[in-house]
Structure 1
Amino acid sequence: MTVLLLTHRDGLAHDMGLGHPECPDRLRAVLQALDSEEFADLLRDEPEEASVEQLTRVHPADYVAAILAIRPQPGDRIALDGDTVMSAGSARAALLAAGAAVRAVDEVCTGKVLRVFCATRPPGHHAETRKPMGFCFFSNAVVAARHAQAVHGLARVAILDFDVHHGNGTQDCMKDDPSILFVSSQQMPLYPGSGAASETGVGNVFNAPLPPGATGEAFRAAWENLFPAIEAFAPQLIVVSAGFDAHARDPLAQLRLHEEDFAWITTQICALADRCCSGRVVSLLEGGYDLEALAASAAAHVRSLLRS
């Protein structure tokens, strides 16, 4: 089993301000949790920035140019909405996060590794085709899927999202394309307000909303109901939006999951990948805002990537 960790120190330079939940300490916590003898078998490398060509497979060129043109001076910040802010290091961090998704696809599609975890920030699953929001600038998961199709010739890519918030951006970017499957569980009602089971795209979107207070038992049951649709789609690659904010300790939501639930879903996804797509899994860090819970949950996730 070969698993690669992709991360970059410049992800720490994206700073949305004192008290913002999507803070540099999130990445520090994840990396510290993975810096132990238990994870000695992890391969480790740094990604390069995504190219404009890779981004414009998903986002219009004028949108990409507008985001990349926002380069505040050190110490300054520019708010794009009430939640999403750019600092001097934000554009590079966003390019590296998208670039990690691209590099991860290259690694698994060429058989160099079986699975990749991208410990990067900012996250991506709220970034719509033409709109940054929810701490996100580029739709990293869809960038990965489009790269797999354009460069590696894959016909079908599945994106699986277990973040507590619905991946409205991912859904917006692929909902009309039957070559990409989007399967998601999320708390509802909750930001961003989307994710109803009635949102089905062109038959390629499956949403499993969970009520506030739902436990790991309800989460596991929801995914057990979703797995047959994924298997029927027969993906050639699975991309995971790995958010850990459904944890019971997380301050931004009210689901009641624990580390063992994230280990379970990861093991199930890997087993599905073994059956459908030669084991190929690309996992991208999304949310998780209690540092202790995030660190423990990310470690459980990577532990399962290594052992499954």
Structure 2
Amino acid sequence: MKLYTHPDCEKHEMPGHPERPDRLRAVMQRLSESGMLDDINVELAEEISDETLAMVHPPDYIEAIKAAEPEEGLINVDPDTYMNNGSTRAAKLAAGACLQAVQDVLCGEEKRVFCATRPPGHHAELASAMGFCLFNNIAMAADYALRDERINRVAIVDFDVHHCNGTVDIFKERPEVMVCSSFQDNYYPNRYLDYTNEHMINLPMAPGSKGGEWRKRVEREWLGKLEDYKPDLLLISAGFDAHKDDPLAQIEFDESDYEWITQQLLNIAEKHCAARLISTMEGGYDLNALADCAEQHVRALI
């Protein structure tokens, strides 16, 4: 297994903001302390090029994001999403890691890759930054993979507590991508919450929902559809903010739920994707819970 990360992902920073560098530090520290990094090939992420970003995001949007970055201080590109003078590089590293992961699994070098990067990406729409996200990392991975003649269908599974509006915005009219999203109902971002079709599978959860209920619904509403879809590549938007200790939502999963879903998805990848599976970090804002969940997720991937 391989893991991509980069210390410059920590240079995207706004004091007091929940999407902070300590998130990445907490994950990497836990993976180190657990001994798992001894069994993982850790490599530095590389920046995605503007030309490759433009496969998904319009060039004028990319230029607008780059132009918005301040030389010093902070700016907001939407009410929740900030930039400082390290933000563009961090976001391009996060997207770049996903492309490197695709290259690795398609050339046969690796079967499973985890991208420990930030900022997250799944709220970034085709031409809009929002929800702490500048570029849509998982969408870049899916689009890039589909340009390979061996990949005809990609499945994206997003279990972040917030709906992946950006990923849906980008792929809603592309049946070669299936998006399965579980999320707290009637909650941020309040976009595409009711948008469903045969390849956009929403699983809204009421506040207070626990992992046992979620597991039953995943078995009933996702796994059969994923089996029938027969993806050639499986991608995970790994948000850990549905944990009971997370301050930004009211779902009550525990870390064992993330080990469970990872194993279910590994089973599908083994059966349909030649075991190819890529996961990238999304949300998770209580540092201890984030580290616990990431540990269980990565342990299952190994």
TM-score (norm 1): 0.95
Counterpart AA for 1:26: R
1:57-206 pair list within 5 angstroms: 57-74=55-72, 76-151=73-148, 153-194=150-191, 196=193, 198-201=194-197, 203-206=198-201
Aligned to 2:218: 223
Distance 1:298 1:24 in 2: 15
Aligned to 1:274: 270
Correspondence 1:34 to 2:31: yes
Structure 1 gap ranges (5+)? none
Contact 1:29 1:292 in 2 (8 A): yes
Structure 2 gap ranges (5+)? none
Secondary structure of the residue that 1:136 maps to in structure 2?
Answer: coil
Once the two structures are TM-superposed, the CA of residue 200 in structure 1 deviates from its matched residue by 1.6
1:247-262 pair list within 5 angstroms: 247-262=243-258
Counterpart AA for 1:144: A
Contact 1:189 1:212 in 2 (8 A): no
Once the two structures are TM-superposed, the CA of residue 270 in structure 1 deviates from its matched residue by 0.5
Worse overlay, 62-71 or 286-295: 62-71
Distance 2:149 2:88 in 1: 27
Correspondence 1:288 to 2:245: no
Distance 2:67 2:111 in 1: 36
Once the two structures are TM-superposed, the CA of residue 55 in structure 1 deviates from its matched residue by 1.1
Contact 1:181 1:204 in 2 (8 A): yes
TM-score (norm 2): 0.97
Once the two structures are TM-superposed, the CA of residue 51 in structure 1 deviates from its matched residue by 1.2
Give per-residue Cα distances to partners, 1:71-109, cap 9 Å, x unaligned: 3123x1111111000000000000000000100000111
Distance 1:271 1:108 in 2: 17
Correspondent of 1:46 among 25, 33, 44: 44
Contact 1:4 1:45 in 2 (8 A): yes
Give the fraction of aligned pairs with identical amino acids, expressed as a percent: 48
Distance 1:68 1:179 in 2: 30
Once the two structures are TM-superposed, the CA of residue 153 in structure 1 deviates from its matched residue by 4.2
Correspondent of 1:20 among 8, 12, 17: 17
Distance 2:277 2:149 in 1: 15
Counterpart AA for 1:146: D
Once the two structures are TM-superposed, the CA of residue 190 in structure 1 deviates from its matched residue by 1.1
Contact 1:127 1:136 in 2 (8 A): yes
Distance 2:149 2:112 in 1: 16
- Alpha carbons of 1:182 and 1:288: their partners in 2 closer, same or farther (altered >3 Å)? same
Q: CA RMSD in A?
A: 1.1
Once the two structures are TM-superposed, the CA of residue 178 in structure 1 deviates from its matched residue by 0.6
Secondary structure of the residue that 1:137 maps to in structure 2?
Answer: coil
Aligned to 1:241: 237
Worse overlay, 222-231 or 159-168: 222-231
Runs of 4 or more above 3 Å deviation: none
Once the two structures are TM-superposed, the CA of residue 152 in structure 1 deviates from its matched residue by 5.4
